[in-house]
Amino acid sequence: MEPQSALPASPTHESVQLGLDALPDAIVIADGSGVVTHANSKAREQLGAEVGQQLGTAMRLQDQEGRDWYDVNLPYDGINIRRGIPEQSWVLTDGSEVLVATGIHRSEASGEIDRVAVSIRSGRGRARLDRERSDLVATVAHELRSPLTGVRGFVQVLLNKWDKLNDEQKKLMLTTVSADSERLSRLIAELLDVARIDTGRLSMYPRPSDAVVLVGRVVDSVAAGTSRPIELDAEEGLPEIHVDPDKFTQVITNLVENGVRHGEGTVRITMCALDGEAGFAGVRMTVDDQGTGIPPEMRLRAVTKFWTHGDRGGSGLGMYLVNGLVRAHGGVLRITDAPGGGARITIDWPSEDLRHA
């Protein structure tokens, strides 16, 4: 006869308490009569909650209007299918914001409440998200204001003084309006792509593409609007890369314009075939500027949202978008020092579709 397996011992009050004390959030658990049966160390520290108190006494939380958490939510009232209270914002006695969620556990047989479990976590995470949203709004407003001001100003002049302007003046103003309109379109496209990267809904249509031709077009376009020299040095016979041409162009345009904006001398782009160390076949591209560079301790932050460097401004979204688009293609981006000073951005682009590798 085979020996029976020993049943696991029921957890003791002490072991449950130890587990609750290890949690990062404040936890308060009350029984069906509203008496607190468990309050972890965070709850005791933040609320002064103690075992044996009534839940309404233990939950020392108020909203912005001075109402008590218990009086507002009445967790033991309501219909017998009520299973919880969604996360809400409340304020501790010291004035700090916390986010409170409540689970209401009922007997399967009678539907009567067996226990109420409340978790209280810091509101700092939500405050950080709120700040990011505010930063995004401020960034968008700032970036849109400059080209919109130019468009509005020139259009107003054209409307008011059309008959007094010669053809050259009209052409200059319309050219400026066109350039500012393109800048606005690019910014809007970048903002949409940032949102799509964040939500995992970025649409791409990659196909075999000639990287040298695409980079050459970007260089010609950017060079037409700056006096800064831009040089392109590409090896002969480079393999095609598997990219979405529009997204690839977006990446290269951002990098070259960054080099022009933050550098002092020549922006140099070099392209060569990948060797074995990359782990895949393709093209390695480097963009060097002659600016102040990016310190090693700042390089991870350089590809995060709203990171800016130096006094040349920018939306703070460019490098975040660049890194997101490169990774979405299965490529790799690195930031190092350029040989002549400044920053070097190196990107390895694959020749095959590595999006799901």
Q: H-helix or E-strand containing 215?
A: helix 211-223
DSSP 286-352: EEE--SS---GGGTTGGGSTT---TTS---S-HHHHHHHHHHHTT-EEEEEE-TTSSEEEEEEEESS
In this prediction, residues 325-354 reach a mean pLDDT of 90
CATH 1.10.287.130 assigned to 127-199: yes
Cα angle vertex 222, ends 220, 223, to 5°? 65
**pLDDT-based confidence at residue 7 (cuts at 50, 70, 90):** very low
Query: What mean pLDDT value characterizes the chain?
Result: 85
Of 213, 208, 241, residue with least CA distance to 351: 241
**CATH number for the 207-350 domain, one of 2.40.160.20, 3.20.20.70, 3.30.70.1290, 3.30.565.10?**
3.30.565.10
pLDDT (0 to 100) of residue 107: 87
In this prediction, residues 190-195 reach a mean pLDDT of 80
pLDDT (0 to 100) of residue 318: 81
Give the whole-angstrom CA distance, residue 72 versus residue 69: 5
Q: Does the pLDDT of residue 1 top 60, yes or no? A: no
**pLDDT-based confidence at residue 191 (cuts at 50, 70, 90):** confident
pLDDT (0 to 100) of residue 210: 95
**CATH number for the 13-122 domain, one of 3.40.50.1470, 3.40.50.12780, 3.30.450.20, 3.30.365.10?**
3.30.450.20
| Complete edge-to-edge strand list for the sheet that includes strand 267-273 | 230-234, 267-273, 282-288, 343-350, 332-337
Please give the residue that has the higher pLDDT: either 196 or 41.
Answer: 41
Predicted structure pTM score: 0.58
pLDDT (0 to 100) of residue 3: 47
Please give the residue that has the higher pLDDT: either 304 or 72.
Answer: 72
Bridge partner list, 27: 119
Of 108, 107, 121, residue with least CA distance to 40: 121
Of 146, 149, 135, 180, residue with least CA distance to 316: 135
Query: Which tens digit of pLDDT belongs to each residue from 87-137?
Result: 888 888 888 888 999 999 998 877 899 999 999 988 776 666 666 667 667
- Least confident among 15-19, 20-24, 141-145, 175-179: 141-145
Give the whole-angstrom CA distance, residue 149 versus residue 271: 38
Give the whole-angstrom CA distance, residue 134 versus residue 305: 13
List the domain boundaries for the chain.
13-122, 127-199, 207-350
